[in-house]
């Protein structure tokens, strides 16, 4: 089992794994399945295609197109806050193929403030294609005191340069991206509300995304544990785990 222990700061080195698999939904399927945890592992993306021909790459030049992408390991996460992304260059650096998944590492490289991964999808076939994309909460296990990681989980998705932040909330009470209106200060202003998770299991989804012959689409997924609120800076929810996944199902454009 791959887990993420929820910690603020912990010197013991940990690892995270993100493992992909191949499915057969619609005409073509590939999925990214993320396990944030302490187990030594990999981040992979696998691709299977029929009738349409898509390929993946970690760079826009597609110098090494592949149906399989890999990240060897990730350090443990510590709490972070949205405001501090400006110290890392903001979206210009986050949504950038030149910055690696370790861009959010602390100087000791033993903990990670945030995880970011940029990848590209290209239609290299002879037929226009469409795909459906879902970013899922595959598994969320509560701590002994009932707290879960998805309460402080934030996911920022860049789709061809346009970003949206997602968080757990409800129709009457969406979660703030970071600082609530009542807690806002000059140093930490109110950043607005996050878009609610689509459901308890789905963070966000896209349907019928068109990909013409030769067209490229860029995605960057940034995840962190929002730690601004003082209540989340107390004891960690020991034993809490979470597993995330992105599934992309491609099919022929009719």
Residue 178 has pLDDT above 80, yes or no: yes
Structure tokens at 231: 């209540």
Give residue 41's pLDDT. Answer: 30
Q: Each residue of 189-201: pLDDT tens digit? A: 899 999 999 998 8
- Are the beta carbons of 217 and 210 closer than 8 angstroms? no
**What's the pTM?**
0.78
Indicate the range of 15-19, 52-56, 182-186, 192-196 predicted with least confidence.
15-19
Q: Each residue of 13-48: pLDDT tens digit? A: 333 333 232 222 323 333 333 333 332 233 444 454
Query: H/E element holding 92?
Result: helix 90-94
Residue of 127, 137, 116, 130 lying closest to 58 (CA atoms)? 116
Residue of 13, 248, 23, 55 lying closest to 136 (CA atoms)? 248
Residue in the block written with tokens 């970690």 = 58
pLDDT: which is higher, 230 or 129? 129
């Amino acid at each position: 089992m791959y887990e993420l222990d929820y910690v603020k700061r912990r010197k013991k080195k940990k690892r995270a794994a993100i493992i992909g698999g191949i499915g057969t939904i619609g005409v073509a399927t590939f999925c990214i399945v993320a396990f944030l945890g302490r187990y030594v592992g990999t981040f992979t993306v696998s691709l299977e295609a029929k009738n349409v021909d898509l390929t993946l790459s970690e760079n826009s030049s597609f110098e090494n197109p592949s149906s399989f992408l890999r990240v060897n390991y990730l350090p443990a996460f510590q709490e972070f806050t949205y405001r501090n992304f400006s110290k890392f260059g903001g979206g210009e650096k986050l949504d950038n193929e030149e910055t690696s998944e370790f861009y959010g590492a602390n100087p000791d490289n033993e903990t990670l403030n945030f995880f970011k991964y940029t990848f590209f999808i290209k239609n290299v076939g002879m037929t226009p294609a469409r795909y459906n994309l879902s970013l899922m909460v595959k598994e969320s296990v509560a701590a002994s005191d009932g707290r879960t990681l998805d309460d402080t989980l934030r996911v920022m998705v860049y789709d061809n340069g346009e970003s949206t932040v997602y968080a757990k909330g409800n129709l009457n009470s969406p979660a703030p991206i970071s600082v609530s209106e009542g807690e806002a200060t000059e140093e930490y202003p109110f950043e607005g509300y996050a878009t609610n998770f689509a459901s308890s299991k789905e963070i966000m989804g896209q349907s019928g995304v068109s990909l013409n012959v030769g067209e490229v689409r860029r995605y960057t997924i940034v995840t962190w544990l929002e730690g601004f609120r003082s209540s989340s800076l107390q004891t960690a929810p020991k034993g809490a785990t979470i597993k995330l996944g992105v599934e992309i199902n491609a099919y022929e454009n009719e």
